Amino acid sequence: MVSVIMITYNQQKYVEQAVRSVMSQRTAFPFELVIADDSSSDSTPDICRRLAEEFPGRINLIARTKNLGASANYLDAWSRCRGKYIAICEGDDWWLSPYKLARQVEYMEAHPECTVCFHRVANYYPEKHNWSLCGKPASNDFGLEELAGGNIITNLSVMYRALPRTAIPDWVLQTPLFDYAMHSLHAANGRIHFMPYIMGAYRKHHYGIWSGDALRARRLATEIRRLLIAHFHESHPQATATLLSRYRDNAIALGAALIKRNDTEELDKLLKEIEDVTGKYGTALPSEEAMTAMRAYSPPAEPAKKKAMRYAVRTLTKILPISLAAHL
């Protein structure tokens, strides 16, 4: 019924907690855990082997001898899944509720139009031992057009009505943000449903994709939208228009950062790409206009809601571990 994908790489501190949180699920249906270790150099593979022996026939361990990279490792694991539904729990995250899978399957079985189901997540910051809550969507039910405005789905919370591997385009291999790509590809075939239960914990490291290197984050955000625009421009024009708007915003911010770094070579490439992408899929933004926008760019002020959440972390750190019990 359900396959759970867990990709791992050098996560010996966390992987056992992640695996046990999956194997503790209480369901009336069978599920499998597909662990794809991407040639870890620490003891992660040994821990996974021990756990696979502890749960015979329920864990499919892929212990690679050559590193594929996160996207290729993930998609290869996907191709080995047998479930009607696929859920995700990466090797440094963990699920909080033993009813997570049961709740999501129950909903998706009753709502065949739903192709993506996700829930609220508690963020954990291991360096400071702090907690916060992820945001939630404006509506519990929405579609690709709304998702095009930004990725609000935490990967460890998602369950898909699984597409076959042959239906997943190879360009997904080109981006580290394969989660946003997969959410979007599945949302294109149906509806997205949000559950308010807090059923997972997302470990936010200081070295994550969105932490520390703002320039890299801008590059990734710009690139994933370029790929999604190219994929959806014929089939989903409304979503494409939203993606194109976000692409321009991210590209302008990226260009402003490149100007500040005096990186003229990458800036020239970006200006050409902006003109090509906007001209092909919408209203062209000439290089001169893009350059003017980049020079005038200033980072937006921190939203009041986000600022309030940041200041609430200390309070949440005290009450969240206790209050989670009410949401499990």
DSSP string over 143-179: -HHHHTT-----GGG-EEEPPPGGGS-GGGGG-S-HH
Q: How far is CA 97 from CA 49, 197, 281, 327, in A?
A: 24, 9, 43, 8
Q: How far is CA 275 from CA 126, 199, 266, 269, 285, in A?
A: 42, 43, 14, 10, 5
Which of 84-98, 102-116, 273-287, 302-316 is predicted least confidently? 302-316
Where does the pLDDT of residue 302 fall: very low under 50, low under 70, confident under 90, or very high at 90 and above?
low
Q: Which amino acid is at 152?
A: I
Q: How far is CA 317 from CA 67, 157, 227, 312, in A?
A: 37, 21, 38, 9
pTM of the model: 0.92
Q: Do 85 and 108 meet the contact criterion of CB atoms below 8 Å apart?
A: yes
* pLDDT of amino acid 317: 53
CA distance 242 to 145: 7
**214 C-beta neighbours (distance < 10 Å), count:** 13
Where does the pLDDT of residue 213 fall: very low under 50, low under 70, confident under 90, or very high at 90 and above?
confident
Q: Do 91 and 18 meet the contact criterion of CB atoms below 8 Å apart?
A: yes
CA atoms lying within 13 Å on the CB side of residue 297:
21
CA distance 75 to 170: 10
pLDDT in tens, 93-112: 999 999 999 999 999 999 99
pLDDT in tens, 150-203: 999 999 999 999 999 999 999 999 999 999 999 999 999 999 999 999 999 999
pLDDT in tens, 220-262: 999 999 999 999 999 999 999 999 999 999 999 999 999 999 9
pLDDT at 311 over 50: no
pLDDT > 70: percent of the chain? 90
* pLDDT of amino acid 128: 87
Main-chain phi, psi angles of 297, to 5 degrees:
-70, 140
pLDDT at 207 over 90: no
Please give the structure tokens belonging to residue 215.
Answer: 């320039």
Boundaries of every domain in the chain = 2-203, 214-296
* pLDDT of amino acid 321: 56
pLDDT at 211 over 70: no
Q: Does domain 2-203 have CATH number 3.90.550.10?
A: yes
